[in-house]
Amino acid sequence: MHRRLIAPGALAAASLLLAIPASAASYLPGAPGIGDPYYPYYGNGGYDVSHYDLRLTYQPRTDELEGTATLLATTTQDLSRFDLDFLLDVSEVRVNGAKAAFSASAPHELEITPAAPLPKGTSITVVVRYSGVPSTKSAYGFNTWHRTPDGAIAADEPESAWWWFPSNDHPLDKATYDVSVAVPDGTQVISNGTLQSTTSQLGWTRWNWRSNKPQATYLSTLAIGKFDITTGKSANGIPVVNAYSKDLGDEAGAARASVERTGEIADWLTGYFGPYPFSSVGGYVPNTTTGYALETQTRVYYSPRQFANGSNTSVVVHELAHQWYGDSVSLKGWKDIWINEGFARYAQWLWSEHEGEGTTQQLADYVYASHPADDPFWTVKPGDPGPDNQFDTAVYDRGALAVQALRNEIGDRAFFAVLKGWPQQHAYGNASVADFRAYAEKVSGKRLAALFDTWLFQPSKPAAPSARTATLTRAEAAPVRPKSWKKIEATNDVHGHAHGH
Ligand code: TRP
Ligand code: ZN
């Protein structure tokens, strides 16, 4: 975890060696992290990526991945050197066509020193040639690359990119993508966005996927294996692409009966959140043994286990809600995770009401009543939970309770205007919990400091809101579990997830 610091003397010596003129004293290395206090080395400083072009080849038998990443970026400071986040083996780096020096550094940095220093505001093209066996690489003692009997998957949060492409690995730096992967004929490649084409030669098929809207690195996904692919269009006209491992066994029916509802559910969410923000929608179910689902942009990742007890449309609602809350509007820092999970969970509550399996208020009452004041549940602050509790159930359940509290405070008219207006306000960008509060205050005309503090930032159980006292007292006496509860909670299978922080 500890990085060596470069002594000022060493920096001066390096400048002399490079014969940088005295006026170039402002040329400094980019920071090894983007500045997120939850994850000090995630992302990097000094540049902003606008596009990733990944041209790869993967051999499922040996887990060998090789290829070339071409990054388009702009410098945001006078740069003598910069980092990418990456774990595979690099053979060559070029910056604006010229060979650059590079070295790997803990915990997951690729340090690149261009032949000539880069002035602030310069467009740069960085080409990284690499290869490696992702399953053999780890950082902080974990590895999130999943091998399957017929391939492999990259889908994890917050870290999945280090095992397959060099990046500025933080949601603050979103970019468009072209992902092109060659695999042996008969194997399929699934990624984000639209499938532009496939081409075959000499026993290999190359799959060309494109994401033409800004996408966070952790929302970029890659799945290689034997899949059945289904395509269609939602009633509103969104192109749908889903994929199912041919190897789902007894889960196959329930998985399809859930994920084939994607177009219908995306259209239904449009009624609450406004127009669907991307050019395609869908999900994939690989033959992994993981338990969770993940809102990978346009192409949701579902573990087969999500469907072990039958179909589950609630998890589909959750992951598709993230396309607006989390993917199009991404968090600014990982502390803002409530913007993602509180609203994706609330969408499940809305779906429950729509399906006649419990209203949002009944679900809120149930969450409130089922955690007594001394339950550690209330010590988690959804508005800033800390890296260890980032995906605690409280971020989801207390987070959705906070959304219901907001609704009760500002009334349905303002509330639904906020719910639909927010994704437009920050479309394809980044926003924080503080930004959300400011927006809700603007739309409702109410001061909401106390409400946000109580429901999102206090490490204790809020007093029952007076308007609801009657219901809550009754609920507290005998909490009624809404019919939808089990399937809603099943979405949180992230607790069985391979690594912790
Ligand atoms: N964001 C995911 C969801 O709620 C859950 C999640 C949290 C997750 N951490 C993860 C998924 C790690 C995969 C890996 O839908
Ligand atoms: Zn979620």
SS (H, E, C) 43-102: CCCCEEEEEEEEEEEEECCCCEEEEEEEEEEEECCCEEEEEEECCCEEEEEEECCEECEE
- In which band, very low, low, confident or very high, does the pLDDT at 496 lie, cut at 50, 70 and 90? very low
pLDDT of residue 331: 98
Residue 94 in any domain: the answer is: no
Instruction: Indicate the burial class of 379 (C-beta count within 10 angstroms; 0-12, 13-18, 19 or more).
Output: middle
Q: Please report, for the chain, how many H helices and E strands are present, in that order.
A: 11, 23
Q: Give CA separation, 457 vs 176, 332, 379, 431, in Å.
A: 34, 18, 9, 18
Q: For residue 315, which atom of ligand 1 is closest to its CA? A: 15
426 within 8 A of 330, measured Cβ to Cβ: no
Structure-token pair, residue 156: 């994890």
Collapsing DSSP states into helix, strand and coil, what is residue 111? strand
Write the residue with the smallest CA distance to atom 10 of ligand 1.
157
pLDDT of residue 389: 97
pLDDT of residue 471: 54
**Ramachandran area for residue 92 (φ above 0: left; ψ -120 to 50: alpha; else beta):** beta
- Ligand 1 pocket, mutate which of 288, 317, 494 (most atoms under 8 A from CB): 494
Write the residue with the smallest CA distance to atom 9 of ligand 1.
157
Collapsing DSSP states into helix, strand and coil, what is residue 439? helix
Collapsing DSSP states into helix, strand and coil, what is residue 218? helix
> Is beta strand 330-331 parallel, antiparallel or unpaired with respect to 430-431?
parallel
Residue 356 in any domain: the answer is: yes
Q: Residue-wise over 49-83: b if at least 16 C-beta within 10 A, else e?
A: beebbbbbbbbbeebebbbbbebbbebebbbbbbb
pLDDT of residue 464: 83
Residue 397 in any domain: the answer is: yes
Short-list 66, 63, 60, CA closest to 180: 66
Residue 320 in any domain: the answer is: no
Short-list 169, 148, 168, CA closest to 157: 169
Q: List the domain range (segments joined by +) for residue 415.
A: 331-489
Which position has the token pair 């399929």? 188
Short-list 352, 336, 286, CA closest to 490: 352
Q: Give CA separation, 369 vs 56, 377, 424, in Å.
A: 52, 12, 35
Residue 337 in any domain: the answer is: yes
- Ligand 1 pocket, mutate which of 327, 338, 391, 395 (most atoms under 8 A from CB): 391
pLDDT of residue 468: 53
Ligand 1, CB within 6 Å, residue ranges: 156-157, 292-295, 318-319, 341, 391, 494, 497
- 11 pLDDT exceeds 60? no
Structure-token pair, residue 224: 């290689």
Average pLDDT over residues 71-97: 98
Structure-token pair, residue 35: 């500045």
The string of pLDDT tens digits covering residues 293-315 is 999 999 999 999 999 999 999 99
**Percent above pLDDT 90 for the chain:** 89
Residue 433 in any domain: the answer is: yes
Residue 437 in any domain: the answer is: yes
Average pLDDT over residues 204-209: 98
The string of pLDDT tens digits covering residues 359-394 is 999 999 999 999 999 999 999 999 999 999 999 999
CA of 484 to the centre of ligand 2 (A): 17
pLDDT of residue 8: 42
Average pLDDT over residues 27-41: 98
Q: Work out the mean pLDDT of the chain and round it to a whole number.
A: 93
How far is residue 193's CA from residue 490's CA, in Å, rounded to a whole number?
27
Over its C-alpha atoms, the chain yields an Rg (Å, rounded) of 23
- 4 pLDDT exceeds 60? no
pLDDT of residue 492: 83
- Sheet order of strands, 222-225 included: 145-148, 151-154, 222-225, 188-191
Structure-token pair, residue 388: 């260890």
The string of pLDDT tens digits covering residues 221-248 is 999 999 999 999 999 999 999 999 999 9
The string of pLDDT tens digits covering residues 116-156 is 999 999 999 999 999 999 999 999 999 999 999 999 999 99
Interhelix angle 393-425/360-370, nearest 10 degrees: 150
Instruction: Indicate the burial class of 445 (C-beta count within 10 angstroms; 0-12, 13-18, 19 or more).
Output: exposed
Average pLDDT over residues 160-178: 98
Q: Give CA separation, 388 vs 395, 497, 499, in Å.
A: 12, 13, 11
* Dihedral (Cα; 170, 171, 172, 178), 10-degree rounding: 90
Give every CB contact of residue 168 below 8 A, 6+ residues apart in sequence. 34, 43, 44, 47, 48, 49, 73, 84, 85, 217
Write the residue with the smallest CA distance to atom 1 of ligand 1.
294
- Ligand 1 pocket, mutate which of 156, 288, 289, 294 (most atoms under 8 A from CB): 294
The string of pLDDT tens digits covering residues 470-489 is 555 554 555 789 999 999 99
How far is residue 62's CA from residue 50's CA, in Å, rounded to a whole number?
32
Write the residue with the smallest CA distance to atom 15 of ligand 1.
294
pLDDT of residue 493: 72
How far is residue 406's CA from residue 400's CA, in Å, rounded to a whole number?
10
> How many domains in the chain?
1
pLDDT of residue 6: 40
pTM: 0.93
Write the residue with the smallest CA distance to atom 6 of ligand 1.
494
pLDDT of residue 23: 56
CA of 68 to the centre of ligand 1 (A): 28
- 336 pLDDT exceeds 60? yes
Average pLDDT over residues 54-70: 98
Average pLDDT over residues 407-422: 98
CA of 416 to the centre of ligand 2 (A): 20
Residue 357 in any domain: the answer is: yes
CA of 75 to the centre of ligand 1 (A): 32
Give every CB contact of residue 236 below 8 A, 6+ residues apart in sequence. 266, 267, 270, 276
221 within 8 A of 154, measured Cβ to Cβ: yes
Q: What is the CATH number of the domain that holds 378?
A: 1.10.390.10
